[in-house]
Amino acid sequence: MCVDGLLFPGDFVDRGSFSVENVMLLFAFKLLYPNHFFMSRGNHETTNMNRVYGFSGEVKHKYDDKVMAVFTEVFQSLPIAHVINSRAFVVHGGLPADTSTTLDAVSRISRFREPADSGLMSDLLWSDPSPFKGVQPSKRGVGIGFGPDVTAGFCKTNGLGGLPCCCHVSLCSDVGARDVGLLLTPFVTNGFGYGAGADMVIRSHEVKDEGYLVEHDGKCVTVFSAPNYCDQVR
């Protein structure tokens, strides 16, 4: 049982020049608070993205290839998703196309590898919500765009709901990384979630001007609280 805690739904690196410092600080928190501090994998915790967006180069500059190899192994070991109080499904990207996908299937994902171009693991790390019903091809070329009916179907299939949701989506600032800050501290409930009594999907993956965006009739919340995204926005 978590008294209070923090959940970071992925993408800890590849944005800015201090990714190593950022991710190591998060790891230090994880070591200190293993039952209060949670981290899941994002699409940037992958080899290809690290190579293209700079983390690999940063690590090799600050350390060497050996350290980068261990980083890769740690990233491949990160959990894929979290469920808070049997109510909120938290993942980096979004939902898979198949609304019959169960939490058990997510739990059984063989994740100690790089995600494939398609499939459940890839969808969870790459998908985005869409205002249109059904499933659309993703503008990213990986994952899908999932509509409000997909979100509702996933929540219904998995029985998300029933227990009071104590989570609060915080607007706290970041450590330079992206997608930081789903604050589970239950003493604050002045937002969506608790008051709405909604079962929901919480994800990151996209920049939002206000730090978050509620979609799909309140069932899908995007959290993005980096105020200085890519050193471009203050």
Residue positions annotated with a catalytic role: 44
Work out how close the CB of 173 gets to another protein at its nearest, in angstroms, rounded to a whole number: 4
Whole-angstrom distance, CA of residue 139 vs CA of residue 136: 9
Which three-class secondary structure state does DSSP give residue 208?
coil
Inter-CA distances, 28 with 10, 117, 213, Å = 16, 32, 29
Candidates 18-26, 128-136, 140-148, 213-221 — which segment interacts with another protein by CB under 8 A? 18-26
Q: What is the DSSP letter of 165?
A: P
Work out how close the CB of 101 gets to another protein at its nearest, in angstroms, rounded to a whole number: 11
Residue 67, interface with another protein (CB under 8 A)? Answer: yes
Residue selected from 10, 45, 47, 81 as contacting another protein according to rule CB under 8 A: 81
Instruction: Point out which residues pair with 128 in neighbouring strands.
Output: 145
Record the tokens describing residue 99, joined without a space.
Answer: 């609304």
Number of residues that bind another protein (CB under 8 A): 71
Pick between residue 34 and residue 141 the one whose CB is nearest to another protein. Answer: 34
- Classify residue 233 by burial, with Cβ atoms within 10 Å: 0-12, 13-18, 19+: exposed
Residue 117, interface with another protein (CB under 8 A)? Answer: no
Residue 86, interface with another protein (CB under 8 A)? Answer: yes
**Footprint (CB under 8 A) of another protein, residues 121-160:** none
**Footprint (CB under 8 A) of another protein, residues 23-62:** 24-25, 27-36, 38, 40, 62
Residue 70, interface with another protein (CB under 8 A)? Answer: yes
Residue 13, interface with another protein (CB under 8 A)? Answer: no
167-195 as b/e: b if 16+ CB within 10 A: bbbbeeebbbbbbbbbbbbbeeeebbbbe
Residue selected from 155, 167, 201, 220 as contacting another protein according to rule CB under 8 A: 167
